[in-house]
Amino acid sequence: MHVTNPETRKQCSHNSCLELGIHSQMNSRLKDLDHVVSQTTVLKPLPSVVSERKGTCDLSSHLIQKMSMVVRWVVYEPGILNFSWKAPYTRGSSPVFVFVWIMSYLSLTLILSRLPLPRPPLLKPITALHNLVLLLLSLLILIGSSLCLLTHTPSLWWSICIPPHTPPTGPLFFWAYIFYLSKFLELLDTLFIILSRSSRRLSFLHVYHHATVILMSYLWLHSSQSLFPIALITNASVHLLMYSYYFLSALGFRPSWKRAVTDCQILQFLFSFAVSILMLRLHFSSGCSGMWAWSFNALFNASLLALFLDFHLKNYATASLKTHKHS
């Protein structure tokens, strides 16, 4: 993290010093990107590309200056900046806690799905409120984690490979922790599906995903797992789209982009595997943190990719073939 010179700190206000640090971090990120480009291509960049990159730098600096209040709130707020995951003292950091929650979720889902539960009269507005909360939470996680990478982490390479023995502390891990806690709130999705008596939506994919993602996000924090920042940002983006769709559906609308939600989920997993190749190269050259947790995460993502492809095939590809036959 950028450290301001003590002499400079005395001569400027807290706000201006913070903006100075943010600008410095942005310049450092751009130098990192220039280094990556120079190392990965033989051709020299065209003058127009260089000019465009400088223009992007100026625009980025201007935007960061305007967003300094947001950065201060989601990155440099003391409770966020000084966050530390310490098992078993941090709430939800015990393996027993995770195990009990997952087993309770699976047991209750099995029991409640077999009971003739009445449909609550206010189920739709409650479901809409639930989806709105998760929509806003996904947006907040997306903004917070993205700004952490841009203004606080030592390098953008942290998004792919976290150095070995890195403790789970600081704002990036704070947003991973909020993401982890949000997975427990998402378990209410299953309850609302059961109460709505929509047996078709209560699929193996739904229950398996909701149960296992808790363990996945727990391992992010427990092991300081490499590649989790990429997964955090892409997953929050997909959930922002997904819960926007669910929120509008609960209000009685039928958005035309239902298929886009599934497509984005599939693309998320494909992108994760593509970036994993780069992460493995970095790991075998200098080492990356949390590789055993990444192995579990890779297997989990592979199983989800297979299930989502099957869902896509049954719900969209088959329907498309039927439409062509009738036309």
Catalytic site positions: 209
**Long-range contacts at 292-299 (CB < 8 A, ≥ 24 apart):** 292/223, 293/219, 293/220, 293/222, 293/223, 293/225, 294/225, 294/226, 294/227, 296/215, 296/216, 296/219, 297/216, 297/219, 297/225, 297/227, 297/231, 298/273
The kind and range of the H/E element at 285 are helix 258-286
Residue with tokens 């036959």: 325
Cα–Cα distance, 67 to 250 (Å, whole number): 33
- Of 175, 119, 112, give the one whose Cα is nearest residue 147: 175
3-state SS, one letter per residue, for 235-251: HHHHHHHHHHHHHHHHC
Under a CB-based contact definition with an 8 Å cutoff, are residues 17 and 4 in contact? Answer: yes
